[in-house]
A and B are shown apart, each in its own frame.
Chain A
Amino acid sequence: MKPTANLKAQQLRNRCDPAQFKFETTADLEDPAPVIGQPRAVAAVQFGIGIRREGYHLFAMGPTGVGKYTIVRRFLDKRAAAEEVPSDWCYVHNFQQAHKPHALRFPSGQAEKFSRDMERLTQDLRTAIPAAFETDEYRARRHGIDAEFSERQDTALEEIRQRAAKEEIAMMHTPSGGFAFAPMRHGEPIDPETFAKLPEKERNRIATLIAGFQEELEEIIQQIPKFRREKQHKIRELNRAVTGVVVNALIDELKKEYRELPDVPKYLADVQKDIVDNAEDFREAKEGEQVTLFGMPLPQAQAAETALRRYRVNVLIDHNSSNGAPVIYEDNPSYNNLLGRIEHLQQMGVLVTDFTLVKAGALHRANGGYLIIEALKLLQQPFAWEGLKRALRSGEIRTESLGQMLSLISTVSLEPEPIPLNVKVVLVGERLLYYLLHNLDPDFGELFKVVADFEETMESDVEANLVYAQLIASIARKEGLRRFDRTGVARVIEHSSRLAGDAEKLSIEMQKIADLLREADYWAGQTNRNTVNGDDVQRAIDTQQHRSDRLRKRLQEEVQRGTILIDTAGETVGQVNGLSVFQLGNFSFGHPSRITARVRLGTGKVVDIEREVELGGPIHSKGVLILSGFLAGRFVPDKPLSVSASIVFEQSYAGVEGDSASSAELYALLSALAEVPIKQCLAVTGSVNQHGQVQPIGGVNEKIEGFFDICKARGLTGEHGVIIPAANLRHLMLRNEVIEGVETGKFHIYAVETIDEGIEILTGLSAGKRDEMGKFPDGSINQRVERRLTEFAERARAFREGAGEVERQEK
């Protein structure tokens, strides 16, 4: 055994010595630099925010809790504050096409003013227009038109009446409202008998005359609707002239005020024309006159409101009280919340809408600034991703309802004029999402060209520890926690290393650290102390673990009761304790599994039982196949490998994945081949390559602790230990108990680089190296393995020859 293999206690953990800190408690510490340990991400964020080109949106990726949002937000806030406040936007009525409201742009803060101005305009007109119609001038002109019309009508009728009278024919009024002509004698209509007595010539003359008058009268009466139309036209012209004067005076004022803005004067001109055309809307309904909608009576105030709605201004975005460019975080990035929505009002059971019901979305609010969205939330919302992409690609926000977009509904809806979009979108999410989007959506790469990859760990050294202490101090201050003293800080830093799974790193998953600080503060409070020390932190860690510990305890219990068969004493051939890690939510723990191998004469195949039953994952199978490679490469190179081996994880009923047990499998296989027993007081982890080198694995701390717990429960004998890959040395951050065990010699941790080192520890026999003759030393493990394999090969050959013999005899 190499002297370095058996690890010393100080190698098992990167201790954070409280003595290295000059401060007493975190109260003495200043806040750290705003961002620590993320140089790459920060550079990417700065670049992504700075570059103003199409498609340079930002994706901040990294695990949850490393402060992606906080960091991005901090940079955005800083930059946005120095940028100019973007324009305000309004929707106004489109007088040509009512279903396509116009968007108007205003310098920031002016939209609200314009809206108030328009409101005042309508209020003013509501008094000014009726007043204009009440003037004597208007009344006189209106009567003039009425009189002119009736005069025209009457004159025409009177003229024919007089002509008829000259011919002694009376034009009479009939009870049904019409006219009839009757011949007169002595001022009275002729009665029929007298008429009958007239000479025929006279009768015919009268009849012809009357027929002529009737025809003329018909023509005149037919003219009357035309007269009436002319009258209506004249009245309209008069009304227009009267309102025109009032409206022009009021609107010209507004036009002058807003003449600098591009579309506003045109809109005001439209308003002007529309008001003149519809002046009636401003005249209050007369007393007792019922205003109706679809035949249903409406309260008068509401009727006027309805008619005058179209002169309102829907202020979509008002930056009146903004400083700098907006930075918007949309917590619920649904399609409507992003692109705005069109609401409907229920009116008499019908859904109606107009431009005043267009509501802004996050893109409207963030326009001219920055929008932060969590990628996962965005993708969970139906069509939100599509909607966002479309807006970013087209560079404009087109608000339409989902139903409209999918052509599903046909209620009255709107197509508001799209608003130009200039926004920087920052998506925040896990790395997996970034890579999935990149793979699956070709548009993604085009739109999100900048990626900020956030680290979950940072380097650990004395300087870094101090920065970390400052970070702890700032969190404690921000959260209103008790002060942490040096021991407390040191313990938190150690735990942070453990969370990073690396003695040379510190975790910057600040969420977990903050949780730990809060809990440690709680425990300090429970013991009525003003400062949090190392014990409180330890208690917080222990209780955290204890709370999620049920399954681990159950497994250990089953081992103690012998339901799960794990030996921790004695020696057995072809059997070794492997170590695996269980991940349950946030909590992971290690647990030993028994791995066994059996061999017999065969055709060089190592059977992985896990794979045969499809319980083994591909990486596991790969590890097992490497074993065949190792055997074939090292032993009996000149003969076919004539062994058949089977390897199994005993009592494993769920899937097995990973190759961290491949060294253990190899030890079991070698032991079975050499027929040398393995010490069951040891457990093994590490993967192996075809050359027999032991390679690092993950979760080394949990694995060691898992075996330690089992041994401790059965009583530590001083024999117990775990063999780990040497490359995992720097990952060791073991808990105190284990370190104490090693210190007192009751537990051992061996770091090995090769299979040979490992097998020596496991069997107590030398592994053996080939001498110049190519032979392994007698009694060594390798020699025993080779002998066995040679034996199998010989026997296999004998079998083949024997079989040939039989065949020949049969012939």
Chain B
Amino acid sequence: MSFRRILVALDASQHSLAALEAASEMAVRMKAELLGVFVEDVNLLRLAGLPFAREVGFPSAISRELDIVAMDRALKVVAAEARRAIMIVAERARVRWSFRIARGSVVNELLSAALEADLLVLGKVSRGFRPAEHLGSTALSMIARAPRPVLILEPGISVRAPALVVFEGSEAAREALSFAADLSGRFGDGLVVLIAASTSESLRQLQEKANEVLTDRDVDARYRSMASVNVRALIDVAKLEKAGMLVLPRSSRLIEHEDFQRLVAGTRCPVFVVR
């Protein structure tokens, strides 16, 4: 698998800047280029058009009237900020980059932009007040629907080896394993394959399957197994193995809403979701 372009969704929030840093790091490792996208949320423009539209400042608690012109201007300001951010990060890392402003629904615009890229990097939440463990709605939609692998991470966390990948034998799992092997090749320092198998027979089979994927790849893989993979167990393994990133197939039940949030918060690892 080759990476040519990494898409990063920017909105100049702290989370998106963390995503930008991680994307830049990935771009350096993968010798890919960065594509920054800022979406002017059409919903905001609609809201601003309503006669009673007001915004309550945070944390000033001052209430202001909204109108379309002001909203438009505010979005332009954020877009400019986002552009400056990617410029600074990319030039510092000496990575080729481009930046695009789209207007429409955030999820739709990102999905269509994702078609042009090989990896989508997202902050855990966009601007928000959500409790620390929550994922933003945009992030959740992207994980569910993105045509490309998605990388989710929270601020202060960088991508590093070794990768921990969950393998239960499905097609998506093979993809994920292959993807993780690629990453490990770039980052070095091995790969941890966690096999979910309730019997030793199925374990053996799954291990063979995984070995098939990994043959011809110069990866130093270690195997771990457990009867059933749940969030708590995965967090423990990640800590034990000092995992630097987590690779999950989208087919995994672990990316279900609540579990996924707990996983991201608990492992404090960047999480790749591979379709």
Binding site for B on A (CB under 8 A): 147, 150-151, 153-155, 157-158, 170, 172-183, 188-192, 195, 203, 206-207, 210-211, 214, 217-218, 221-222, 224-225
Contact = CB atoms under 8 A, between A and B. Distances in A.
A685 to B, nearest CB: 108
A182 B60 CA distance: 20
Contacts of B74: 174-176
18 contacts: A150-B132, A154-B132, A172-B44, A174-B55, A174-B66, A175-B75, A175-B127, A176-B55, A179-B58, A179-B129, A183-B50, A190-B46, A192-B50, A195-B50, A207-B51, A218-B63, A221-B60, A224-B59
A211 B52 contact: yes
A463 B49 CA distance: 128
Most chain B CB within 10 A, of A175, A177, A207, is at: A175
Nearest to B52: A207
B131 A154 contact: yes
A183 B43 CA distance: 11
Interface string B50-78: 11111111111101101000010011011
A172 B132 contact: no
A176 B48 CA distance: 13
Given A175-B77, A192-B49, 8 more contacts: A150-B132, A154-B131, A154-B132, A158-B129, A178-B56, A182-B47, A182-B50, A195-B50
B130 interface: yes
Contacts of B78: 175
A154 B130 CA distance: 6
B132 A210 contact: no
A191 B50 CA distance: 7
Contacts of B60: 221
Contacts of A157: 129
Given A173-B126, A173-B128, A222 B61 contact: yes
Given A150-B132, A178-B64, A188-B43, A221 B59 contact: yes
Classify the interface of chain A: helix, strand, loop or mixed.
helix
A178 B54 CA distance: 10
A180 B130 contact: no
B83 to A, nearest CB: 14
A195 B132 CA distance: 35
B56 A221 contact: yes
Which of A157, A181, A182, A190 gathers most chain B CB within 10 Å?
A182
Contacts of A211: 52
Nearest to A215: B63
Interface string B106-140: 00000000000000000000111111100000000
Nearest to A211: B52
A178 B46 contact: no
A55 B21 CA distance: 82
Contact of A178 (B51, B57, B77, B126): B57
Contacts, number: 101
B70 to A, nearest CB: 9
Contacts of A222: 61
Nearest to A184: B43
- Looking at B58, B77, B127, the one whose CB has the most chain A CB atoms below 10 A away is B58
A170 B61 CA distance: 18
A276 B66 CA distance: 49
Nearest to A154: B131
B58 A221 contact: yes
B107 to A, nearest CB: 11
A536 B90 CA distance: 102
Contact of A180 (B54, B61, B128): B54
Interface of B: 43-44, 46-47, 49-61, 63-64, 66, 71, 74-75, 77-78, 126-132
Contacts of B47: 172, 180, 182, 189
A191 B49 contact: yes
A191 B46 CA distance: 5
A188 B50 CA distance: 14
Nearest to A196: B51
Contact of B61 (A190, A192, A207, A221): A221
Contacts of A153: 129
A147 B132 CA distance: 8
Smallest CB-CB A-B distances: 4 pairs: A192-B49, A221-B61, A182-B47, A154-B131
Contacts of B132: 147, 150, 154
B66 A210 contact: no
A188 B129 CA distance: 20
Contact of B131 (A155, A180, A188): A155
B55 to A, nearest CB: 4
Nearest to B45: A191
A172 B105 CA distance: 13
A147 B265 CA distance: 12
A806 B52 CA distance: 142
A190 B131 contact: no
Nearest to B73: A175
Nearest to B68: A192
Contact of B43 (A176, A189, A195, A217): A189
Nearest to A217: B56
Chain A CB within 10 Å, residue with most, of B50, B51, B132:
B50
B61 A177 contact: no
Contacts of A210: 52, 54
B24 to A, nearest CB: 21
A214 B62 CA distance: 10
B131 A151 contact: yes
B127 A173 contact: yes
Nearest to B11: A175
B46 A189 contact: yes
Contacts of B71: 174-175
A190 B50 CA distance: 8
Q: Which of B43, B53, B55 has the most CB of A within 10 A?
A: B55
Contacts of A178: 55-58, 64
A214 B50 contact: no
Contact of A177 (B44, B46, B58, B66): B58
Given A147-B132, A174-B74, A214 B46 contact: no
A207 B65 CA distance: 13
Nearest to B77: A175
A207 B50 CA distance: 10
Contacts of A224: 59, 61
Given A172-B44, A175-B74, A221-B59, A182 B129 contact: no
Nearest to B12: A175
Given A180-B66, A190-B50, A172 B58 contact: no
B46 A150 contact: no
A159 to B, nearest CB: 11
A189 B71 CA distance: 15
A214 B75 contact: no
Of listed B59, B60, B128, residue having the most chain A CB within 10 A = B59
Contacts of B75: 175
A189 B52 CA distance: 13
A211 B54 CA distance: 9
Contacts of A195: 50-51
A195 B63 CA distance: 22
A203 B52 CA distance: 10
A157 B52 CA distance: 21
B55 A180 contact: yes
A441 B231 CA distance: 95
Nearest to B47: A182
A724 B1 CA distance: 137
A180 B75 CA distance: 15
